[in-house]
Structure formats: C-alpha cells, structure tokens
Amino acid sequence: MNTEDVIEIFKISIVDGDVNNAYSIVEKNMKKYEKKGEDIKKEFMEYLIKGLKGELSTDDISNVLSDDKYNIFPYIRDYKGYIFSLIDAIKYSLNRYNIKYPDFDAKRCDDL
C-alpha cells in the first residue's frame, strides 16, 4: 500500500470516528517504514500519532509537515494543499469526538 492510501484511510477513519483504525494503520505503516529504513515516512507517521495522542497541537503538526522535506507523496501536485486538508480532517475529528488517543468518547456527538 502506498503512502497516499495510508493517509487517505487515516483521514476517512478519523472523520468517521474510528480512531482505533486510524491509529493502527498509521502505527503499522510506521513500523514498516522503520524496517525499510525510510526515516522521513516514519517521522511523518510519528507526527500523526503524536497529534492523535494530544502531544502536539494541529498547528505544530501543520508547521512541521509543511516543510517540503516531508513531501513523501510522488503523485500529489499541491503538497501544501494536501497537508492543509489533512490537518483540517484532524481538527474536525479532534473537535467532534474529543480525541486524545487512547482515551476518547465516540459517543460525544450521539453518533453511536
């Protein structure tokens, strides 16, 4: 699975409130990238996990990932726009579901 697919599954999962799936897909791929020696991709995934855990704010994640060093997506033409949409999905989910992984309440908005 390429990195774009991983991030899209992550975005869909957090928007739907399935934080466990979002966390597991990122963690699984982070370990895979670590084994392959792809440090930039591993760091990218680490920032997403830290954001879910509440260790980093969305502004901090945005500032770090806006650096072209983390442009690990060969098929994305507008990297800054892509990061903006990723951060927007994270902000939406954090506000909607009150996420601070691993403790969160998916029932906050009476979705379940």
pTM of the shown model: 0.82
**Residue 77 clears pLDDT 60, i.e. is over it:** yes
Q: Which domain holds residue 49?
A: 3-97
Q: Is residue 104 part of a domain?
A: no
Q: Helices (DSSP H) in 17-102: which residue ranges?
A: 19-36, 39-53, 58-65, 79-97
Percent of the chain with pLDDT over 90: 53
**Residue 106 clears pLDDT 80, i.e. is over it:** no
What the block records as the tokens of 101 is 């992984």
Q: Is residue 55 part of a domain?
A: yes
Which phi and psi (to 5°) does residue 103 adopt? -100, 115
Structural domain count of the chain: 1
Residue 2's pLDDT is 87
Q: Is residue 109 part of a domain?
A: no
Q: Is residue 105 part of a domain?
A: no
